[in-house]
Amino acid sequence: MREVAVIGVGMTKWGELWKKSLRTIFVETALLAMDDAGVDRIDSMYVGSMSSGLFVGQEHIASMLADYLGQSPVPSARVETACASGGLALRLGFMEVASGMSDVVLVSGVEKMTDVSGYEATYALGSAADQEYEGYHGITFPGLYALIARAHMEKYGTTREQLALVAVKNHCNGSKNPLAQFPFEITVDSVLNSVLVADPLRILDCSPITDGAAAAIICPAEMVRKMNKPVIKIIGSGHATDTIALSSRKDITWLEATYQAAKQAYAMADKKPEDINLIEVHDCFTIAEICVLEALGVVKRGEGGKAAEDEITFLEGKIPVNTSGGLKAKGHPVGATGVAQTVEIVKQLRGEAGERQVKDARIGMAQNMGGSGGSTLVHIFERE
């Protein structure tokens, strides 16, 4: 396998982008990544998108986006693992460069979620659960994570305040990220008094509906060394699955796919959890960040709730988590999220994260998951 590095990243301001179409959001973002990398052409591309079909009625966006990026006839593929689609795009690009098949690959993600009504968006997101045996009974995505939250609180004594602190921390970080959808701080009280969505989860426990894209250019590390640019290598990649239905799992509070994907990534990178300087995790709901930290081995099983309370995951803490603001504050255009995590880690490892810069960051990790945890991608990055 060849060593692979990220040579360019791109992201534009996320939010409700009424004036911009899916293709415009994508092309603007991909061009930023190409400019950052200093390339005007690519060998191939991957686009993570969970549901362009349900969100904008457009399938076959691989062809459309390669065309509008001015790169046809390069090979282009849209890939999907629900909200982990972006992470999957990164992994497939990584494999393609590592194998020697291609040199310069664009990995990206995009989702345009506000062209449909709230009900239609809820339906599209719900299609990442088991339609016949979960959705049929009226469960929603916040509902599935609420089931996890209630079980975690019962089993480990995790508190409502600990959940709130995850959102408070991520908004605090997001207030330092000008590209975030919600770049402002919130308080524990505001979370606890926000409207209930699915008990015990409230609206401020939930990531929002977002339009946005993220992109990265990856290539052989040797190429970056010759160009005298910072070499941010992808040193570990893991991908695993779990049952699609939450109810089928042995332990409803445990994210086995995250555990398995992390195990693969740690092994490939030859790193342990304590070697990691910062992590971007998939906090689609506050409880998710808590369970993910446990499955990544950052804290012991059952102690995810304490991590935010003890502030070890805060920007100044032992292991900063979601310096970008996470899905909660930065926004969650589902297919783009996994690649946006890469953008954040690369900025941090280059020392370009501004007000939210983690001091001496050298090794970063990103965890991106789909559905209620049925798919997970984990990547580890290191600055040479």
Partner 1 sequence: MTTPSRYWREIPQRYRLEANKCKNCEITFFPPRLICPQCKNRELEPIKLAETGKILTYTVIRVPPHQFVDQAPYAVGIIELDDGVKITAQVVDCDFEDLKIGQRVRIEFRKIFQEGESGILCYGYKFVPE
What is the contact surface with partner 1 in residues (CB under 8 A)? 119, 122-123, 126, 132-140, 142-143, 146-148, 150-151, 154, 195-201, 245-248, 252
Radius of gyration for the alpha carbons in the chain, expressed in angstroms and rounded = 19
Shortest Å, Cβ 248 to partner 1: 7
Closer residue to partner 1 (CB): 12 or 376: 376
CA–CA dist 220, 329 (Å, integer):
33
> Cβ of residue 255: shortest distance to partner 1, in angstroms?
15
Strand 212-220 relative to strand 105-111, pairing: antiparallel
DSSP string, 192-217: HTSPEEETTEEGGGB----BEEEEEE
Is-catalytic flag, 239? no
Please tell me which residue in 83, 206, 219, 291 is annotated as part of the active site: 83
Is 332 an active-site residue? yes
| 304 conformational bin, left if phi > 0, alpha if psi -120 to 50, beta if neither | alpha
Smallest separation (angstroms) from partner 1 to the CB of 287? 11
The tally of CA atoms less than 13 A away on the side-chain side of residue 100 is 2
Under a CB-based contact definition with an 8 Å cutoff, are residues 7 and 223 in contact?
yes
Name the catalytic one among 171, 282, 332, 379. 332
Q: Which burial class, exposed, middle or buried, applies to 301 when counting CB atoms under 10 A from its CB (0-12, 13-18, 19+)?
A: middle
CB atoms within 10 A of CB 352: 11
Report the nearest approach of partner 1 to the CB of residue 132 (Å): 6
Catalytic sites, residue numbers: 83, 332
